């Protein structure tokens, strides 16, 4: 492991995908609160920008992350960026094998894996032109263990966890770091169906930005992520079987 550190938030120019709400919005707010010089907020449709996002003063950028033209246009427009936060994600909430719609898993892979890959490819030259910078991939506990009730989502996030390590190895010679965030249950629209305690999005953003500045490869951003990794290390078979039993659960809960 190298000692290369990531970009400092103070004075940074960030692009955050999926910035309209939840963790994406939290990254916008937290970065600006920590002294970022500029934040570009990537949205599929700028006309849908929430009042909360508009209040931050972030610069809205049209960016459907699965659209190659949008990604290329964003890279051509945001030429001063030195931090990219790949936050946009999709969870289809369906089984992987016994699915009701075979297209869901493909959509999860397109949004959660191929889109971050395209963003990294497009923005690596932009970051290199700034003398270096950082890429942050917002992942999930589902990336570190097969999560049966999130089959396609888990698979796509695991792929992006591997992507982070590979991208970092390729880009470190250009002074570009890549940090993968392992996130537990957060109080967002995506986790609305989960009962129990949840972290606030700003908590995740703050932990992620600190990890980026330190140059960490991966970061468990919250208590659930830390405890999940510990249980997985202690008894991986029991942990994965427990996740499998949740396929038949009447409701999902962070309580244990």
Measured distance CA(1)–CA(118) in Å, rounded: 25
Q: Looking at 90, 153, 198, 239, which residue is catalytic?
A: 153
Q: How many CB atoms lie within 10 A of CB 249?
A: 9
Q: Looking at 40, 90, 113, 157, which residue is catalytic?
A: 157
Q: What own/partner pairs with CB < 8 Å and gap ≥ 24 does 150-155 have?
A: 150/91, 150/93, 151/94, 151/95, 151/96, 151/97, 151/105, 152/92, 152/94, 152/96, 152/104, 152/105, 152/108, 152/109, 153/90, 153/91, 153/92, 153/108, 153/112, 155/96, 155/105, 155/108, 155/109
Q: Is residue 153 among the annotated active site residues?
A: yes
Report the DSSP beta bridge partners of residue 194: 252
Query: Which are the contacts of 14, defined by CB distance < 8 A and separation ≥ 6?
Result: 27, 28, 31, 36, 38, 39, 40, 81, 82, 83, 84, 85
Q: Is residue 113 among the annotated active site residues?
A: no
- Asked if residue 131 lies in contact with residue 83, where contact means CB atoms within 8 angstroms, the answer is no
User: ∠9-229-148 over CA atoms, to 5°?
Assistant: 110
Classify 35 in phi/psi space as left (phi over 0), alpha (psi -120 to 50) or beta: left
Residue (of 7, 4, 3) closest to 136 by Cα position:
7
Active site residues: 153, 157
């Amino acid at each position: 492991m190298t000692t290369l550190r990531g970009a400092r938030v103070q004075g940074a120019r960030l692009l955050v995908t999926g910035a309209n709400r939840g963790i994406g919005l939290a990254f916008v707010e937290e970065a600006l609160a920590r002294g970022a010089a500029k934040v570009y907020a990537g949205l599929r449709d700028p006309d849908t920008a929430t009042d909360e996002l508009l209040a931050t003063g972030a610069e809205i950028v049209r960016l459907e992350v699965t659209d190659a033209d949008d990604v290329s246009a964003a890279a051509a427009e945001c030429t001063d960026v030195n931090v990219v936060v790949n936050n946009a994600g999709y969870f289809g909430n369906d089984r992987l094998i016994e699915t009701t719609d075979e297209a869901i898993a493909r959509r999860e892979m397109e949004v959660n894996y191929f889109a971050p890959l395209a963003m990294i490819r497009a923005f690596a030259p932009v970051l290199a032109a700034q003398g270096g910078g950082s890429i942050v991939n917002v992942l999930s506990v589902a990336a570190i263990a097969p999560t049966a009730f999130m089959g396609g989502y888990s698979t796509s996030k695991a792929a992006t966890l591997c992507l982070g390590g590979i991208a970092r190895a390729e880009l470190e010679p250009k002074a570009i770091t890549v940090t993968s965030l392992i996130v537990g249950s957060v109080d967002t629209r995506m986790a609305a169906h989960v009962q129990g305690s949840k972290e606030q999005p700003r908590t995740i953003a703050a932990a992620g930005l600190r990890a980026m500045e330190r140059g960490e490869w991966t970061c468990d951003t919250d208590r659930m992520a830390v405890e999940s990794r510990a249980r997985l290390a202690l008894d991986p078979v029991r942990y994965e079987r427990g996740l499998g039993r949740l396929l038949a659960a009447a409701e999902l809960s962070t309580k244990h």
